[in-house]
A = this chain, B = another copy of it.
Amino acid sequence: MAKGKKDLDLSTEEKIMEAARKVFTEKGYAAARTRDIAEESGINLALLNYYFRSKEKLFELVMLERVNKLFGAIIPILNDESSTLEEKIEGIAGSYIDLLTEHPDLPIFVLSEIRNRPEKFAALVNARDHRVTKSVFMKQLIERKLSVSPFHILINLLGMTVFPFVGKPVLSKLVGNEAEFDALIKQRKELIPMWIKMMLN
C-alpha cells in the first residue's frame, strides 16, 4: 500500500482536516496560519506537510468540500424530474436555510475566496455550471413564459435565501440579537417561496 492509512485510522489525517475546515473557514486562506491548524488539531506542525504536502494543497481540499456542499444542496433539487416548479422553490429555500443555519459562514467563505483568486477557483464553478443553467428548474421557469429572464427569479431566490447569511454580521445587529435574527430566518423558509411564487405572474 502506498501509504498505510485510510483503513481504520483516519484519525490524524482527519483531525488535521477538521481543524483546517474550522481555521480556514473562520479566517480565510491568507490569515490562517499552518501553526493555527496544527495547534487546533493538537498535532505537530510537520504532520500537516507530511499528510497534505502544503498549506495550499490542504486548502484546496477544504475549498472543494465547501463548494460541493454549497452546490450539492441545490443541484439535486434543481434537477429533480418529478417535482413541480413550486415544489422546487420550496425545496431550495428550505434546504438552503437548513444548511446555512448549520454553516452560516459557508457562502461568504466560498465567495470571498473565489473573489480573492478567481483564476484559481474558476474551474470549480465552471464544472458545476451547466447543472444549474440547464437544470429542470430553469426549463420549468422558461415554460412559464415570464416577462423577465428566468435568471432574475433564480437570483431573487438565492438572494433572499443566502443574503441574510452573508450579511449576518451586520444584519443581526440591526434586527437586535442573533437569536431574534435566527428566528426571522426560520420564518423565511415559508415566506420566501410565497414571495417567489408571487413573482411568477
**A residues apposed to B, CB below 8 Å:** 26-31, 105, 108, 111-112, 114-116, 118, 122, 125-126, 129, 132-133, 148-149, 151-152, 154-156, 158-160, 162-164, 166-167, 169-171, 173-175, 184, 187-188, 191, 195, 198-199
Q: Given A30-B30, A116-B28, A152-B187: A108 and B111 within 8 A (CB)?
A: yes
Majority SS at the chain A contact face:
helix
Report Cα–Cα, A36/B160, bound state, in Å. Answer: 37
Which B residues touch A129, using CB under 8 A? Answer: 173-174
On whether the beta carbons of A111 and B28 are closer than 8 Å, the reply is no
Report Cα–Cα, A184/B166, bound state, in Å. Answer: 22
Pick from B29, B163, B187: contact of A159, CB below 8 A: B163
Report Cα–Cα, A163/B188, bound state, in Å. Answer: 16
Which B residues touch A27, using CB under 8 A? Answer: 30, 116
